[in-house]
Amino acid sequence: MQKRAAWELDVFNKLRKSGSLGAKSVDYIAKRKVKLSFGAQPTGAKWTLKGMLLGPPEVIVNSKQMAGVKSAKDNWSLSVIAHEVKHYQQGMLVALSVYGELEAWQLQMRLLRDLGSPPKNQALKAIEKLKLSHDPKVLREAARLMKEYSPEYRVDLLPLNPITYFGRKL
């Protein structure tokens, strides 16, 4: 792995030790030289269009979570990093859909369990239990639950399925 700050190595170590989901995220970060940074934003973290199109990928974590991330003690923030890495793995067209969000949210919930911090919120538990599917009914329910958990989250602006999906399995 390229030269990294000590706090990043601590984060990667904790994710890797959590199990296969965390290890896959760290492997992707290492292979693609994903930059981790902090910034002011309404969400826990985000991927960037520049990182998606031009590279290298960058995950920007909400600066309010900096202390928890840098100490590698905030499991929620660590799981958000993996969530955003999942979007890079999906590619832009899948990431910009409710389907892509459902897949990333479910990965995040499973990783939270692996880190020893299972979700307690009922909407998050319900998201975790949904079948990952291109079925519009499932995706509408996922979007509803995401808005229930985070009312300011603009999942309603995304198409249910990736724009490349026309009734076929991706």
- Given a cut of 90, whether residue 43 has pLDDT beyond it is no
Average the pLDDT over 85-110 and give the result: 97
Q: What percent of the chain has pLDDT over 70?
A: 96
- Which of 161, 91, 93 lies closest to 133, judged by CA? 161
pLDDT value of residue 35: 95
Q: Which of the two residues, 126 and 165, has the higher pLDDT score?
A: 126
Average the pLDDT over 122-145 and give the result: 98
SS3 73: coil
- Residue-wise burial string across 28-41, b where 16 or more C-beta atoms lie within 10 A, e elsewhere: bbeeeebbbebeee
- Give the residues across from 18 on adjacent strands: none
User: What are the residue boundaries of the structural domains of the chain, listed by start?
Assistant: 6-157
Average the pLDDT over 113-121 and give the result: 97
- What are 44-94's pLDDT values in tens digits? 889 988 989 988 999 999 999 999 999 999 999 999 999 999 999 999 999
Instruction: Give 3-state DSSP helix, strand, coil % of the chain, rounded to 5.
Output: 60, 10, 35
Give pTM, 2 decimals.
0.92
Q: Which of the two residues, 163 and 27, has the higher pLDDT score?
A: 27
- Which of 152, 155, 134 lies closest to 144, judged by CA? 155
Round to whole Å and give the CA distance between 114 and 60: 23
DSSP H helices in 91-165: 92-95, 98-114, 122-129, 136-149
pLDDT value of residue 2: 64
